[in-house]
């Protein structure tokens, strides 16, 4: 599935993100780095027109406001009409009733190609009970060896119910539709010491889906794998210069912009399990 | 015209930007890097008061919202009353009717010292037909040798009509009033692989105009040249460390902060053509 | 007081910032770098719920808008009810009547654990007359040897009146309650050539208060000292690579993420004066 990276670079999918102000710059830059083109338009007056020429739409619930919800609903419905894949990142959905309500409204009105978040967010979005504190995943929601079978079953059921590919980031990333699940190992804990790496992954997932709209499962898995490999390589560079989170953040962007099929195929660790 | 950089560092123009949330941090940092002082106030209740003590105003239409339009109208009219130069960056003006309408309203109500954008944006802003997709310039709008004479004529007519200096970024940057056009060669393609380099250039253009309000044409050309030279030098540093777009972005800010008249004069490539 | 840094890393205080869009990403990243966890929720519908699980709240008046003021009032009052320490950063309070009014309303309704800003901002917030131009401190408001005694008296009176610890950043940082004042020397002028270092310090002050809510004076002073030491070390690294403000910004984040009690204790220069 590493060839999807090459397709992103060849097809340059216009990826429309309606996203939070905390990491909006990182999302635009990661889209450029992976070979896509960003548009971050968020005014409800223009999102339908803009999404109409896009190849993918990404809705991110971080730092949510009413005006963003209105824009997301309009853009999402239009994208569905036009067959443009839509990615949902339910950032911090367990942190407030406001976000939970917004997430559920969006999930009722819009068909998502991919729903991607950390373990706590996906549990809440999927109707389970999460233990999130703020926007980070709770340790008790983390995917562990013990919980793996149960987690996979939960994700497949959520996928069957929603029609979306479900992606969970963690020590082992899981990407699942209703019958197959990719287990992606790798990445680095430092990815959670920089804000926005989850948002960036959702943006990239949109770009990968835009470049391969008939292979959503593979696109979501390839985006996760690319972030993991970039994270490992960025950490190695950071360690070589005895840097901290500032250096890591820069090297992460570097590694995504420098990545190609060979690097991705050589670095990624994906196991696929079937039902 | 490289002496205008020194004037920025000596006069420290307070540059008021009403700008988009995607690149607002980059704009503030580039203003500090080039020697100016930023204020990014965007609430309509305060922009008239704040622009009154500013040396320049920059209006950027990226990620536009109604509240920003209201603030821009009030700040722009006040700046005109006070004789403070105003720069317009019509980001993505071809991407939606909403932005096109806002741009035209602003151009009717406010006199701009400089209107700066990529080729597609300037074509739309100037009343031509652009082929933009998202916020990037379309290849068919790019300034080429074949189109150069036509482009210069278009810019001069737009300048005569609007009273603004018109600046277009591309492989060759063009800066024009109604009778002279600066052709600025240089820069590097990597400038378009980092979000916000256009917004940063518009912010710098504001600072340069604020430092030399009686030499708007030269100020706009010098800002373009400074960004080009910084881009070339940043690329050389990036290549030396085999970095990607993350490194380039950091080095670009470095080079602007480290630039002086000697570096700028030595690196810039400007040809001026008269009518 | 350097042990408070270790307490931040051990207790991982959830620090809720309602802050400006210019530097919101920097604030989230500095919180992660110093060992805390950020939440930047700003919708008035959710801030009460979110602050209820937080360890500290930071209200930052930069790039202020009405919706943010409403969210700040609700979050601040709830934090007071729950005994969660609240930090105020009155960014640019002298730049407009709009901000001055907002600051005074917040100071009337909410009890702040710490009020932190540059010399001009604190003068205005404390009821004096500041000479600010934009958001930077005016030279005539700077803390000098001559003015030191008067500044300390002003801060102690402001602290007695407000019940808050008052912190002023400058060449010498001052942190004061009504009877003791910490004079913190160090830092580097380059800290003022990167946007957001003040906002980042306020966010860190929140995190430090959240980790040591019974030692607010020490927490505020330790946060100032940590930023100063990080600034000095970041400048040394920047100089070693002949970098500019882009490099400095990255190294500053590195140094905060790499800091520990030993580095902080070895680098900080604090003198405490009693009434």
Mean pLDDT of chain B: 95
The 3-state secondary structure of chain A reads CCHHHHHHHHHCCEEEEECCCCCHHHHHHHHHHHCCEEECCCCCCCHHHHHCCCCEEEEECCCCCHHHHHHHHHHHHHHHHHCCCEEEECCCCCCCHHHHHHHHHHHHHCCCCEEEEEHHHHHHHCCCCCCCECCECCHHHCCCCCCHHHHHHHHHHHHHHHCCEEEEECCEEEEECCCEEEEEECCCHHHHHCCCHHHHHHHHHHHHHHHCCCCHHHHHHHHHHHHHHHHHHHHHHHHHCCCCHHHHHHHHHHHHHHCCHHHHHHHCEEEEEEC
B 167-226 residues inside an 8 A Cβ radius of C: none
Of B83, B55, B86, B54, nearest to B73 by C-alpha is B86
The shortest C-alpha distance from C126 to chain B (Å) reads 21
pLDDT at position C127 is 86
- Out of A38, A67, A250, the one facing B195 most closely (by C-beta) is A38
pLDDT at position C131 is 55
What band does C132 get if pLDDT is binned at 50, 70 and 90? Answer: low
Contacts of B32 in chain C (CB under 8 A): 193-195, 245
Tokens describing residue A155 = 């994700």
pLDDT at position C142 is 67
Using the beta-carbon criterion (under 8 Å), do B195 and A32 form an inter-chain contact?
yes
* Among B200-214, C104-118, C137-151, the least confident range: C137-151
Angle of the B24-34 helix axis to the B245-258 helix axis, nearest 10: 30
Contact B205, B220 (CB under 8 A): yes
d(CA B167, CA B125): 12
Contact A216, A209 (CB under 8 A): yes
* Among A14-28, A128-142, B146-160, C98-112, the least confident range: A128-142
Gap between the terminal Cα atoms of chain A: 20
> Does B23 contact A at CB distance below 8 Å?
yes
C57 - beta bridge partners?
A: C16, C86
Contacts of B100 in chain A (CB under 8 A): none
> Does C260 contact A at CB distance below 8 Å?
no
Phi and psi angles of residue A22, each rounded to the nearest 5 degrees, phi first = -65, -45
Of residues A141 and C228, the one with the higher pLDDT is C228
> Does C239 contact B at CB distance below 8 Å?
no
Handedness of CA A130, A133, A137, A142 (dihedral sign): negative
d(CA A27, CA A203): 6
* Among B265-274, C134-143, C165-174, the least confident range: C134-143
pLDDT at position A147 is 85
- Out of C25, C26, C99, the one facing B46 most closely (by C-beta) is C99
What band does B144 get if pLDDT is binned at 50, 70 and 90? Answer: low
Q: What 8-state DSSP symbol labels residue B87?
A: E
Mean pLDDT of C189-215: 98
Contacts of C92 in chain B (CB under 8 A): 39, 41
The number of beta carbons lying within 10 Å of the beta carbon of residue B174 is: 24
pLDDT at position B275 is 81
Tokens describing residue C73 = 């009032």
Q: Which CA distances in Å does B86 have to B28, B72, C1?
A: 17, 10, 49
Contact A104, A136 (CB under 8 A): no
Residues ≥6 apart with Cβ < 8 Å to B100: B93, B94, B124
pLDDT at position B139 is 67
A89 - beta bridge partners?
A: A60
- Out of A64, A196, A246, the one facing C254 most closely (by C-beta) is A246
pLDDT tens-digit profile of C142-171? 666 678 999 999 999 999 999 999 999 998
Mean pLDDT of C25-34: 98
pLDDT tens-digit profile of B116-127? 999 999 999 998
Mean pLDDT of chain C: 95
Mean pLDDT of C15-25: 98
The shortest C-alpha distance from B130 to chain C (Å) reads 31
pLDDT at position C146 is 73
Handedness of CA A55, B90, B260, B254 (dihedral sign): negative
The number of beta carbons lying within 10 Å of the beta carbon of residue A149 is: 10
Mean pLDDT of C101-106: 96
Contacts of B38 in chain C (CB under 8 A): 134-135, 195
Provide DSSP, B55-75. SEEEEE-TT--HHHHHHHHHH
The number of beta carbons lying within 10 Å of the beta carbon of residue A275 is: 11
d(CA A85, CA A79): 7
Of B271, B269, B257, B273, nearest to B5 by C-alpha is B257
Contact A57, A88 (CB under 8 A): no
Contact C267, C230 (CB under 8 A): no
> Does B163 contact A at CB distance below 8 Å?
no
pLDDT at position C147 is 85
The shortest C-alpha distance from C76 to chain A (Å) reads 17
Bridge-based pairing of strands C269-274 and C56-60 is: unpaired
Query: So what's the ipTM on this one?
Result: 0.95
Please give the residue of chain A at the shortest CA–CA distance from C28: A195
Extract the residue ranges of chain A whose pLDDT is less than 70. 128-135, 139-145
Q: Is B150 exposed, middle or buried (0-12, 13-18, 19+ CB in 10 A)?
A: exposed
pTM: 0.96
Of residues A136 and C189, the one with the higher pLDDT is C189
d(CA A247, CA C241): 14
Handedness of CA C114, C116, C122, C124 (dihedral sign): negative
A176 - beta bridge partners?
A: A166, A181
> Does residue B134 carry a pLDDT above 90?
no
Q: What 8-state DSSP symbol labels residue C133?
A: B
d(CA A260, CA B209): 43
- Out of A14, A67, A253, the one facing B244 most closely (by C-beta) is A253
Using the beta-carbon criterion (under 8 Å), do B29 and C245 form an inter-chain contact?
yes
> Does residue B81 carry a pLDDT above 60?
yes
Contacts of A245 in chain C (CB under 8 A): 29, 32-33, 253-254, 257
Of A94, A113, A114, nearest to A104 by C-alpha is A94
pLDDT at position B221 is 98
d(CA B117, CA B106): 15
Please give the residue of chain A at the shortest CA–CA distance from C67: A65
pLDDT at position A117 is 97
Q: Which CA distances in Å does B213 have to B92, B124, B199?
A: 27, 27, 20
């Amino acid at each position: 599935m590493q060839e999807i990276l090459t397709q992103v670079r060849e097809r340059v999918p216009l990826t429309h993100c309606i996203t939070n102000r905390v990491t909006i710059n990182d999302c635009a830059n990661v889209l450029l780095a992976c070979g896509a083109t960003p548009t971050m338009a968020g005014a409800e007056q223009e999102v339908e027109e803009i999404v109409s020429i896009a190849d993918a739409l990404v809705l991110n619930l971080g730092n949510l406001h009413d005006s963003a919800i209105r824009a997301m609903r309009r853009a999402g419905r239009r994208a569905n009409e036009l067959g443009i894949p839509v990615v949902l990142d339910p950032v911090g959905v367990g942190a407030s009733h406001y976000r939970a309500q917004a997430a559920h409204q969006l999930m009722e009105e819009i068909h998502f190609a991919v729903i991607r978040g950390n373990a706590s967010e996906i549990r809440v979005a999927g109707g389970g009970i999460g233990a999130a504190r703020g926007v980070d995943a709770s340790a008790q929601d983390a995917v562990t060896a013990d919980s793996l079978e149960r987690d996979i079953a939960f994700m497949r059921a959520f996928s069957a119910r929603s029609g979306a590919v479900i992606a969970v980031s963690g020590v082992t990333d899981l990407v699942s539709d209703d019958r197959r699940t990719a287990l992606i190992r790798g990445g680095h804990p430092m990815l959670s010491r920089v804000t926005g790496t989850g948002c960036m992954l959702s943006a990239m997932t949109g770009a990968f889906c835009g470049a391969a709209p008939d292979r959503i499962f593979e696109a979501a898995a390839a985006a996760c794998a690319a972030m993991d490999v970039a994270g490992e390589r960025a950490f190695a560079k950071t360690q070589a210069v005895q840097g901290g989170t500032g250096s890591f953040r820069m090297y992460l962007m570097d590694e995504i912009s420098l990545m190609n099929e060979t690097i991705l195929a050589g670095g990624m660790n994906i196991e696929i399990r079937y039902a």
